[in-house]
A and B are shown apart, each in its own frame.
Chain A
Amino acid sequence: MVYMSVFVLIPLAAVTVKAVSQGTGTLWSSITNTVALQALAVTLVSSLVVAAIGAVMGTLMAWVLVRDRFPGKRFVNALIDLPFALPTIVAGLTLIALYGPDSPVGIHLAYTRGAVIVALLFVTLPFVVRSVQPVLMELDREVEEAASSLGASNLTTFRRIVLPALRPAIISGTALAFARAVGEFGSLILIAGKVQIASIVIYADIENGDPQSAASLSVVLLAISLLVLVLLRRLGARGAR
């Protein structure tokens, strides 16, 4: 508990105290100015888009990894963890190499919102796959077979039998991916350019010696993280029952 306090809790408390140190009025005005509001909007919208794409593609990839059989599957399975192992700055660097000014494929995505979304998709890729995969493995196939022997089409079986069983795993994976996307910094710093992302605005505020404004925006991000955490706890508690 002491270890947690020294490294995690006291610092986070300090941010909150700093944010309200000059009254809630200052806090309010530093998160409702245009730069901050726009950064928050861009961050949230990009993260939602990324979470949605990630949920669909993640479930699809988990399905392929569990139910399909093909040569090289073990390699693909290991590949999924790559974004967890690869430093995020390298992820950003690869996107500059591929979509930057001297792009070999002629796509100039860098420094746009598109690049931000690609970067976020990269770093959040494993979350949904890794949370859906084990559930899909455990899933009883007899129920599915029963459904189809009773005349249900594949689509119906998937929608009525498989999806409800996977839903908690998909939601928790997506929520983690969303939380990660909201706070992501490393992969974006090189390619965000003029796109104002919350974490980058905070970083710029710190560098410019404006910790109060940085702390205010941080508190908003912190609140979002806590919200996701509480949601996940609720979900976990329901799953355990």
Chain B
Amino acid sequence: MRVSRSATLSLRAVALVYLSLLLLVPLGVIFAKTFEHGFGTAWGWVTTPAAVSAFWLSVTIAAIAVPLNTIFGVGAALVLVRGKTPGRALLDGLIDLPFVVSPVVVGLSLVLVYGAGGWFGSWFLHQGIRIIYAPAGMIIATVFVSLPFVVREVAPVLSEVGEEQEQAAATLGASRWQTFWRITLPSIRWGVAYGVVLTTARALGEIGAVAVVSSNVAGSTLTLPLLVQQRVTTSFGSQAVTSSYAAGTELAVMSLVVLVAMTLLAPRKGDAA
């Protein structure tokens, strides 16, 4: 269909204005507010002991949750695409749950299971292991909310590349393990990489589920997103101050890195094989 020049232009204008009003302008404003008292002040706010420990906690949680979900994701994708076990359809349906369940509900459910008085919580407490209001619970919450990404990125690539090469390898005498490392993994690597990037983004930014299972103590269970929240809510007159903008900008910069990685990986995903 041949759309007239003016119609094309106005559609383009509508799309671009909408995007800039919704995304660019707000982001620009927090960058501006972060640096309105100079770069030094902003740097000071992201290098306070609380901010530094929040940064490292966020990174640590991501560093544990992301590999776990990557291994599970690749495994589950293999089961879904290649496997013939019964219950595959059920697994397929359940995997998307974390995408649609509210993060606060996730947090609550973890408290009910792993908290003091919860189903398994009291047993863990007897062993001297504290899960809720401790980093362990925050890791579990992060694993929950970022679980589907790798599976959902890898599964389509896996069914796209087909089984022929794997079968060829098997007939040539390769063990299952060799086939996986030499044939399967190299052909799905971009899908895995893209899934890992998405998982990382979600893991670093998660607040809802983590907020419920965290005790919000700076230095031990405060992640960067929680630090932003705390700084906003404890500042006077419920006005966000430079300290929270600075932490917000720090998170935004981290996510821009993730975004660049996504953009670079997305086209590669297409020519996976």
On chain A, which size bracket covers the interface?
35 or more
Q: Decide yes or no: A211 and B30 within 8 Å by CB, A87-B255, A222-B101 being known contacts.
A: no
Main secondary structure of the interface of B (DSSP, over half): helix
Q: Mark A78-106, 1 if CB is under 8 A from B, else 0.
A: 11111111111111011111101110100
Determine if A85 and B255 form an interchain contact, defined as CB atoms under 8 angstroms apart. Answer: yes
Q: Mark A179-196, 1 if CB is under 8 A from B, else 0.
A: 110111110011000000
B218 at the interface (CB under 8 A from A): no
Q: Which residues of B contact A80 (CB under 8 A)?
A: 19
Determine if A64 and B107 form an interchain contact, defined as CB atoms under 8 angstroms apart. Answer: no
B44 at the interface (CB under 8 A from A): no
Q: Which residues of B contact A88 (CB under 8 A)?
A: 205, 207-208, 225
Q: Which residues of A contact B96 (CB under 8 A)?
A: 229, 232
Q: Decide yes or no: A8 and B97 within 8 Å by CB, A68-B12, A199-B102, A214-B108 being known contacts.
A: yes
Main secondary structure of the interface of A (DSSP, over half): helix
Determine if B111 and A221 form an interchain contact, defined as CB atoms under 8 angstroms apart. Answer: no
Q: Which residues of B contact A214 (CB under 8 A)?
A: 108
Determine if B102 and A182 form an interchain contact, defined as CB atoms under 8 angstroms apart. Answer: yes
B95 at the interface (CB under 8 A from A): yes
Q: Contacting A179 at CB < 8 Å: which of B99, B108, B262?
A: B99
A-B contact pairs, 25 of them (CB 8 A): A11-B112, A15-B109, A64-B15, A64-B16, A78-B260, A81-B263, A82-B27, A82-B255, A87-B207, A87-B224, A89-B229, A90-B248, A93-B248, A94-B27, A94-B29, A97-B26, A97-B30, A100-B239, A101-B239, A118-B22, A154-B1, A179-B100, A183-B103, A229-B96, A229-B97
Beyond contacts A11-B109, A203-B107: 10 other A-B pairs, Cβ-Cβ < 8 A, are A78-B262, A83-B23, A87-B255, A89-B228, A89-B251, A96-B232, A154-B7, A189-B229, A206-B108, A218-B109
Residues of B participating in the A interface, judged by any CB pair closer than 8 Å: 1-4, 7-8, 11-12, 14-16, 18-19, 22-27, 29-30, 33, 72, 87, 91, 93-114, 118-119, 140, 143-144, 147, 198, 201, 204-208, 211-212, 224-225, 228-229, 232-233, 237-240, 244-245, 248, 251-252, 255-256, 258-260, 262-263
